[in-house]
């Protein structure tokens, strides 16, 4: 099983937004930092906003921030929101054509594995996996908050 890029990007967007603290972040900023498509991130951000993980502030000085504390954002909830298909085997899906579905024991084992997967994700929150702002600055070469204010004063 592999999560889609949509879920991967959703988790990265939440981590980035958390590391920004109270500062609003933009889709352009994250797309540039992660070197991913702005259009794809826009879809991810829309889904996260609709689900209540992010809050969007409109306008020229707008951006994104977490809609609730990172300690309340369970990874399992994010993955359930961003993934559309958990049919690990054919018999989990609609339109099942497997000829042994009535007597097969595999679905029970696969359901147990899926339940364990989500139980593990539900034990972790965004806060438990979040990077510190300085980790993102070194990775993405973002200015530190103090340098950012000084740079904006000197360019004025």
Kindly calculate the radius of gyration of the chain based on its CA atoms and give it in whole angstroms: 20
The answer to whether position 110 is within a domain reads yes
The answer to whether position 154 is within a domain reads no
The model's pLDDT over 49-59, given as tens digits with 9 standing for 90+, comes to 999 999 999 98
- For the question of whether the overall pTM of this predicted structure is more than 0.75, the answer is yes
The answer to whether position 95 is within a domain reads yes
- Domain with 53, as residue range(s), is 5-144
Contact between residue 10 and residue 51 where contact means Cβ atoms under 8 Å apart: no
Lowest mean pLDDT among 34-38, 65-69, 87-91: 87-91
Cα–Cα nearest to 82, from 2, 1, 10: 10
Q: pLDDT category, 125, cuts 50, 70, 90?
A: very high
Whichever domain contains 122, its CATH number is: 1.10.10.10
The model's pLDDT over 105-122, given as tens digits with 9 standing for 90+, comes to 888 888 899 899 999 999
The answer to whether position 88 is within a domain reads yes
Cα–Cα nearest to 1, from 114, 108, 90, 107: 114
The answer to whether position 156 is within a domain reads no
The answer to whether position 149 is within a domain reads no
Number of folded domains that form the chain:
1
Q: What pLDDT score does 147 carry? A: 42
């Amino acid at each position: 099983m592999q999560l889609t890029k949509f879920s991967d990007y959703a988790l990265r967007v939440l981590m980035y937004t958390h590391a920004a603290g109270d500062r609003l972040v933009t889709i352009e900023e994250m797309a540039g930092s992660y070197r991913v498509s702005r259009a794809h991130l826009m879809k991810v951000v829309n889904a996260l906003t609709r689900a209540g993980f992010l809050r969007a502030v409109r306008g020229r000085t707008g951006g994104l921030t977490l809609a609730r504390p990172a300690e309340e954002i369970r990874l399992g909830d994010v993955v359930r929101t961003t993934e559309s298909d958990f049919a690990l085997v054919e018999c989990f899906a609609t339109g099942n054509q497997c000829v042994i579905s009535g007597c097969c024991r595999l679905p029970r084992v696969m359901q147990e594995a899926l339940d364990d997967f989500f139980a593990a994700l539900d034990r972790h929150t965004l806060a438990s996996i979040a990077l510190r702002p300085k980790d993102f600055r070194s990775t993405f070469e973002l200015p530190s908050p103090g340098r950012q204010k000084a740079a904006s004063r000197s360019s004025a």
